[in-house]
Amino acid sequence: MSAKNLLVELFVEELPPKALKKLGEVFAQTLAQSLKTQGLAPEAAAVTAYASPRRLAAHVAGVLPVAADKPVVQKLMPVAVGLDAAGNATPALLKKLAALGADASVVPSLRRENDGKAEVLFYDSLAKGAALAEGLQKALEAALAALPIPKVMSYQLQDGWTSVNFVRPAHRLVALHGSEVVPLAILGLTSGNTTLGHRFEAAKEVVTFADADSYADTLKRDGAVIASFAERRAEIVRQLEAAAAKAGPNLKPIEDEALLDEVTALVERPNVLIGKFEAEFLAVPQECLILTMKANQKYFPLLDASVGNAGKLTNQFLVVSNIAPADPSAVIGGNERVVRPRLADAKFFFDQDRKKTLESRVLGLAKVVYHNKLGTQGERVQRVCAIAKAIGEKLGQPLGGDALALQAEQAALLAKADLLTDMVGEFPELQGIMGRYYALHDGLAADIADAIEDHYKPRFAGDSLPRGHVGTAVALADKLETLVGLFGIGQIPTGDKDPFALRRHALGVIRMLAEGDLNLPLADLLAGAAATFAQVEGFKAANEALADFIYERLAGSLREQGYSAQEVDAVVSQRPQRLGDIPKRLAAVRAFAALPEAEALAAANKRVGNILKKVEGGVAAKIDSALLQEAAEVALGQALAEVKPAAEAAFAKGDYAASLQSLAALKAPVDTFFNDVMVNAEDPALRANRLGLLATLHLAMNQVADISKLSA
């Protein structure tokens, strides 16, 4: 049996562009995996996925015409049930064999084996390997069933009465094993070796493949189609860079991976062209123009990359066309005519919006529902204002004034006003961005304008943080109001469900507090935010549950940053209120763990914690020196008296590494104490004092982190 390469292509009408890349990958991988599972392709077989606007295809190397036979072991039944006293098959055994396609002739060859309970009969046989036609049919059906189709459509076949459900109507099916057609039937199609190429530029009306390996080259030559998604994408990138250089010096196309993927899914043979629009439109904020060109037209705006103008929009853009006429002027002119009304709309919205101040729009938020249990956007804004002002007061204390609090309050009042503008109504993605432009137009301070834009930050992982303290105060207030409010009405994320993006909000709070090294205790922030909901009916503060939720997000984030689970657990389990301290605490824990005394101290700390947990009512951290009788407990008391003040002083200065490392001096007295001293002494006073000694030790050892978490 000689292995040959296999090619399968399903030719359809235009596939959903945003889903095409994933559809191509899933189609190829699922088809290949099914072949491997059936023994028709080796596990190491190379798989190549192809996906263009009108086709999904897969090339699999080294596919066999027939899979090898497989040994099958079938457990039948206990010997006592399957054979009678004379050793003949019972009716129960014959029935079981018949179900497996065997008869009484195999009884003498049945294998006997003890399964630990009784002697059992086993039937060893060979399962005939699947033929390629049968196996590929199964693999193709599995591949189509696995496709992550955004929306299925129903259509009728040419017979006029048979209905088929698929993402788009399918018209041709190619299946080649080497040069031979593999007979398949699916979606009302039968397989062959022909397909259709580019709608307008194919050299041949019907493209015929000689064999599986000539697929991509033949389709490119005769069909004017670059079948590979990755190759087509790379060609677009190359042409974009070349066209930008041709358009002018220091120009570069905007970087947008999602747009690049979408455009790759819209064209079969890309041809990048340069278009222009009137320079007068550049008076409109460039974010508006860029968004309308990308979202509505799928254009790549050209940006100025020169020093001093880096990132500034020009009045040129790049079009990725699906045709390459000798004279592209008609294509370019058509695109320029199409984009002009879009830009004119953006200019109109911008001009109209500036006729009203942001402040004049605030009252309108009272008519916008935020949440049926939490009131309107207007009511929400009042809560955010109160929270932002309180945060601003705390952040502004070192500056000796309340200017920051007043700016934070004003920015919070205006932050949602742009939701009522025409521009944001048309392009919701611009909320905050347009608020900044309109605030500057209204003559507001730059810090307030920046805060209006930045209060949504960070929007996603890796996004920048607000630019200043005003923006930070409003961003924290906005996210805390959302978290506290929704937790307070029981809208807590479960499993994968998080409709209000509370996990993202929590991570945003964590990043601002930690990366900004802000002196804002988390419990105080949650309590302050909860107080603003006092008049909301049905609200019940859930600050403990919310704090747990935030610390869980924090722990996950730290693990993703490369800290070990033990290091993270040691620090986060202490629930430090000042999140900006956490990186220093983690560094201190890592340095402590490298000490030779660390392992023994961690184990001792764990032992101390377990002892103290068993004491009902808890243990006060008090020591009566007069009750320290045995030499080992006297020595531990003296060591604690020396180490504890130094550790506390280092902790107070924020030198967490020194605080932890000072504990190394306790190893010897702690070891001796546990070897020589009976903690649970019969004398109640003596026992209580020894427990107090351990409680004092426990507090001293766990100021920075719970080092018992470092114990294996």
DSSP secondary structure letters along 387-437:
HHHHHHHHHHGGGTSSHHHHHHHHHHHHTTGGGGSHHHHH-GGGTTHHHHH
> Could you tell me the two tokens for 346?
């953006």
Average pLDDT over residues 528-547: 94
Residue predicted with more confidence, 390 or 402: 390
pLDDT, mean of residues 438-445: 96
Average pLDDT over residues 644-660: 85
Looking at the chain, the whole-number percentage of residues with pLDDT higher than 90 is 64
Nearest partner of 415 among 486, 470, 487, judged by Cα? 470
How far apart CA 668 and CA 635 sit, in angstroms, is 10
- The residue with tokens 């899914």 is 265
Residue 517, Cβ neighbours under 10 Å: how many? 13
pLDDT computed for residue 332 by the predictor = 96
The DSSP symbol for 295 reads I
Residue 408 clears pLDDT 90, i.e. is over it: yes
Per-residue pLDDT tens for 335-372? 999 999 999 999 999 999 999 999 999 999 999 999 99
Instruction: Give me the pLDDT at residue 398, please.
Output: 65
Beta bridge partners of 497: 494
CA 554/CA 225 separation, integer angstroms? 48
- Is the pLDDT at 633 greater than 90, yes or no? no
Distances in Å between the alpha carbon of 645 and those of 244, 443, 488?
A: 66, 55, 42
Long-range contacts, stretch 542-548, CB < 8 angstroms, 24+ apart: 542/487, 542/488, 542/490, 542/492, 543/484, 543/487, 545/487, 545/492, 546/483, 546/484, 546/487, 547/522, 547/523, 547/575
Task: Please choose, from the candidates 7, 2, 3, the residue with its C-alpha nearest in 3D space to the C-alpha of residue 50.
Answer: 7
C-alpha span between 12 and 160 (Å, rounded): 19
The CA distances from residue 213 to 1, 58, 61, 249, in Å, are 19, 11, 9, 43
CATH of domain 4-67+131-223: 3.30.70
pLDDT score at 551: 94
Query: pTM for this one?
Result: 0.81
Tell me what pLDDT residue 85 has.
85
Every domain of the chain and the residues it spans: 4-67+131-223, 70-127, 229-353, 370-562, 588-710
Question: Model confidence at 615, in pLDDT bands (50, 70, 90)?
Answer: confident
Which pLDDT band, with edges at 50, 70 and 90, does 690 fall under? confident
Q: End-to-end CA distance of the chain, in Å?
A: 55
> Count of alpha carbons within 13 Å of 529, Cβ hemisphere only?
33
DSSP string, 645-682: HHHHHHHHTT-HHHHHHGGGGGHHHHHHHHHH--SS-S
pLDDT value for 184: 96
Residue 629's pLDDT is: 78
Integer Cα distance of 140 and 124 in angstroms: 31
The strand ranges marked E within 128-197 are 153-156, 163-166, 170-177, 180-181, 185-186, 189-190, 194-195
Cβ of 233: how many Cβ atoms within 10 Å? 19
The 10 Å Cβ neighbour count of residue 602 is 22
Dihedral of alpha carbons 243, 246, 247, 252, sign: positive
Question: Is the pLDDT assigned to residue 400 strictly greater than 60?
Answer: no
Looking at CATH, the fold of the domain delimited by 588-710 is given as: Isoleucyl-tRNA Synthetase; Domain 1 (1.10.730)
418 CB-contact burial (10 Å; exposed 0-12 / middle 13-18 / buried 19+): buried
Per residue in 249-308, pLDDT (tens digit) is 999 999 999 999 999 999 999 999 999 999 999 999 999 999 999 999 999 999 999 877
Res. 187 pLDDT band, cuts 50 70 90: very high
C-alpha to C-alpha distance for 516 and 328, rounded to whole angstroms: 53
Which has more pLDDT, 573 or 213?
213
Sheet of 180-181: strand order equals 47-52, 55-63, 4-12, 170-177, 180-181
Tell me 170's DSSP state: E
User: In angstroms, how far apart are the furthest CA atoms of the chain?
Assistant: 106
Query: Topology of domain 370-562, per CATH?
Result: Hypothetical protein af1432 (1.10.3210)
Summarised one tens digit per residue, pLDDT across range 47-65 is: 999 999 999 999 999 999 9
Give the residue, 672 or 471, on which the prediction is more confident.
Answer: 471
For residue 380, what pLDDT band results from cuts at 50, 70 and 90? very high
* Average pLDDT of the residues of the chain: 91
Mean pLDDT of 674-693: 81
Give the count of beta carbons closer than 10 Å to the beta carbon of residue 495. Answer: 5
Q: In this predicted structure, what is the pLDDT of residue 399?
A: 57
pLDDT value of residue 133: 94
Confidence class for position 647, pLDDT limits 50, 70, 90? confident
Q: What's the CA angle centered on 265, arms 240 and 145, to 5 degrees? A: 155
Confidence class of residue 199 from pLDDT cuts 50, 70 and 90?
very high
Check: CB of residue 269 under 8 Å from CB of residue 201: yes
pLDDT digits (tens, 9 = 90+) for 452-511: 999 999 998 889 999 999 999 999 999 999 999 999 999 998 888 888 999 999 999 999
The residue count of the chain comes to 712
Token digits for 340? 């002009």
Lowest pLDDT segment from 296-310, 534-548, 647-661? 647-661
Half-sphere exposure of 406 (CA within 13 A, CB side): 5
